[in-house]
Amino acid sequence: MSNYILTVPVTYKSNGSEKTSYRRVGAVFENQKRDTGETVLSIKLDFPVGATELVAFLPNQNDEVTD
């Protein structure tokens, strides 16, 4: 089973240049359906999110994600 860290990109200006940071908002879990073997994604949000774009990353070793 694969999992990803779900983030929201936040753009800001620093020293006159535009930068983007990514804030964690949840996790995405890749699972297989038992009857068909089809891959499905399950998204678990840490809290309600009012964003138009979410970005998923593979977790670092230090990121603990539980299903």
**pLDDT by residue (tens digit) across 7-29?**
989 999 999 999 999 999 888 88
pLDDT digits (tens, 9 = 90+) for 42-62: 888 888 867 766 666 667 777
Rama region for 46: left / alpha / beta (φ>0; ψ in -120 to 50; rest)? alpha
For the chain, give every domain's residue range: 3-57
For 36, phi then psi, to 5°, come to: -115, -15
